[in-house]
Chains A and B, each alone.
Chain A
Amino acid sequence: MTERVSIVIVSHSPEVARGAAAMVRQMVGKEVKVAHCGGNADGGLGTDVSAIKRCIEQVYGPRGVAVLVDLGGAETNSEMAIEMLPREWQTNVVICEAPVVEGAVMAATEAAGGSSLDKVRATAEEFFR
């Protein structure tokens, strides 16, 4: 498989995360690696730093990872998870400022075309500006 930018979806809701990932896969099939997580450590609404970190590790590749988040805590916890990654990975994982569902689909579609991480992020973010 050609290396592509990977996508991580982080929502407060496990159902939203799973649903968004399903919508992404419908667009890009297996061309782009997608991981998702939602819910706190007890399974309630929230986000879990270790689950986010595991997701990033699962799909990490040389082209990098675009992370899509829903609300504030998802972003803060994702930033924390990124800081816990190996130092040389950290600049290769970015959080996109875009709505989680639409942003994930846009980012994945761009990634499927072989674009760089910067381009993937810009596409996800610019579409909604």
Chain B
Amino acid sequence: MIAMQEAPVAQDALVARLIDAAVEAIADNVDLLSDLDRAIGDGDHGINMLRGFSAIAAHRDELAAMSVAAALEAAGRILVMNVGGASGPLYGSLLIAMGKAAAREGASLQSILDEGVAAVKKRGKSDRGEKTMLDVLVPVQVACAEGTPIERLRVVAKEALEATRPLMATKGRAAYLRERSIGHLDPGACSSALLIDAACATFLEDEP
């Protein structure tokens, strides 16, 4: 029993810390996400994300014992089965694709991000500019490809979120509002920015 707990320490700790940071980021912002969604959607983004990330938290120890690749995939499947809105398959596809990419030989943060973002585009039949989570994910992916340091990626995510405000939604529930979706932050972009910030903060803990 003790031997099992002492297994591959560094990696265990990373998965567990990423889970804790992501769950906290969502739990602390449930009202913010739901308020943003109430303005231009159906108002359930906060509670849906909380349902999904609480399910991940419930499997924390199991996930922490896996490799990063396997944990990403498993966490993605948990989101798919538990969120209850479109964000389930979207975030689920993101993590599942990131996990598959991470399992490949020669995987890098870039290749993992690239495959994850491609999966979200495919699942959502969307791209940046439609006032969705992709309006945060794609700029972060691009910045990462340009060699932007992690602490700066947090700023890129934040600025990208703010840049969704003037956009008119053409995908998702907000698209039904047409021009009236202008002037509001996108809730999916907001949850993406929160999760990226949480992940970056966790990675930065490891930097000397």
Contacts and interface: CB of A to CB of B under 8 A. Distances in A.
Which of B44, B47, B84: most chain A CB closer than 10 A? B84
A72 B89 CA distance: 11
Interface residues of A, number: 17
Contact of A46 (B85, B90, B93, B172): B85
A45 B44 contact: yes
A73 B51 contact: no
B84 A46 contact: yes
Contacts of A71: 173
Given A45-B42, A77-B88, A72 B48 contact: no
Contacts, number: 54
A80 B51 contact: no
A49 B173 contact: no
A42 interface: yes
Given A47-B85, A76-B90, 17 more contacts: A40-B85, A42-B51, A46-B84, A46-B85, A48-B84, A49-B89, A72-B173, A73-B87, A73-B88, A76-B123, A76-B124, A77-B86, A77-B88, A79-B123, A80-B88, A80-B89, A80-B93
Interface of A: 40-42, 44-50, 71-73, 76-77, 79-80
15 contacts: A40-B51, A40-B85, A41-B51, A41-B81, A42-B51, A42-B84, A46-B84, A47-B84, A47-B85, A72-B172, A73-B84, A73-B85, A77-B86, A79-B123, A80-B92
